[in-house]
A and B are shown apart, each in its own frame.
Chain A
Amino acid sequence: NAGVTQTPKFRILKIGQSMTLQCTQDMNHNYMYWYRQDPGMGLKLIYYSVGAGITDKGEVPNGYNVSRSTTEDFPLRLELAAPSQTSVYFCASSYRQTYNEQFFGPGTRLTVL
């Protein structure tokens, strides 16, 4: 199993550009999550999904959108990139919500200039 994979690993965007961060898991996990990690801060939840077709906002959803058309894929969309979205983005998945560990992808380092 590859686990949780993310692409791209690095990306530089100009202000106002858009992009999609890809996340795929091959563990048949129901729950998937997008986090951002800023220097000196704990990870913050952007969006999460409890299954295909179901998504919900986390703590910091503004400026992002998600979709979950399949169990495996959970892409994160940035429509109008802003410097405040410069961060490292992690996708994670778990089989269930409670009492289950989360498996993390390798991260995407995004810089918005």
Chain B
Amino acid sequence: KNEVEQSPQNLTAQEGEFITINCSYSVGISALHWLQQHPGGGIVSLFMLSSGKKKHGRLIATINIQEKHSSLHITASHPRDSAVYICAVRPPWNYGGATNKLIFGTGTLLAVQP
């Protein structure tokens, strides 16, 4: 079982719809990141959370530390939101292996149709 699971793997929405992408993780974390990867391949950091909720424009990210779960919401979706959305968690400093690593989910492919 992957330490970071995202759902759904693929999502198709109509323009204007409210979208939710989920991320569940099985390890303790010090922070959680949401990233966006466009079809051209470039990766952009959207949010970094350690608790609560953050909002940037039409994007909202929430995290529930007790339930080990985070959600990324997109309001009033637009075709330009079409991308792969990646969740990544940072384990505590004493986690096994490389101490500076992020553990990445496999991503959610979002297609927003006009």
User: Which listed residue (B43, B45, B90, B97) contacts A98, Cβ 8 A?
Assistant: B90
Q: Looking at chain A, what size class is its interface with the partner chain? A: 20 to 34
Q: How far is the CB of B114 from chain A (nearest CB, A)?
A: 27
B104 within 8 A of A: yes
Residues of chain A within 8 A (CB-CB) of B30 are 98-99
The closest CB in chain A to the CB of B48 belongs to A101
Known: A42-B107, A98-B30, A107-B42. A59 touches B48 (CB 8 A): no
Which of A43, A48, A99 has its CB near the most chain B CB atoms (within 10 A)? A43
A60-91: CB near B (< 8 Å → 1, else 0) gives: 00000000000000000000000000001010
Q: How far is the CB of A112 from chain B (nearest CB, A)?
A: 18
User: Which listed residue (B2, B31, B44) contacts A42, Cβ 8 A?
Assistant: B2
The closest CB in chain A to the CB of B87 belongs to A42
CA distance A107 to B41 in the complex (A): 7
Known: A58-B101, A99-B48, A102-B33. A41 touches B42 (CB 8 A): no
Q: How far is the CB of B1 from chain A (nearest CB, A)?
A: 13
B7 within 8 A of A: no
CA distance A101 to B2 in the complex (A): 23
Not counting A98-B90, A104-B42, a sample of 9 additional A-B residue pairs whose C-beta atoms are within 8 angstroms of each other reads A42-B4, A45-B101, A48-B100, A48-B101, A57-B98, A90-B43, A101-B45, A102-B45, A104-B45
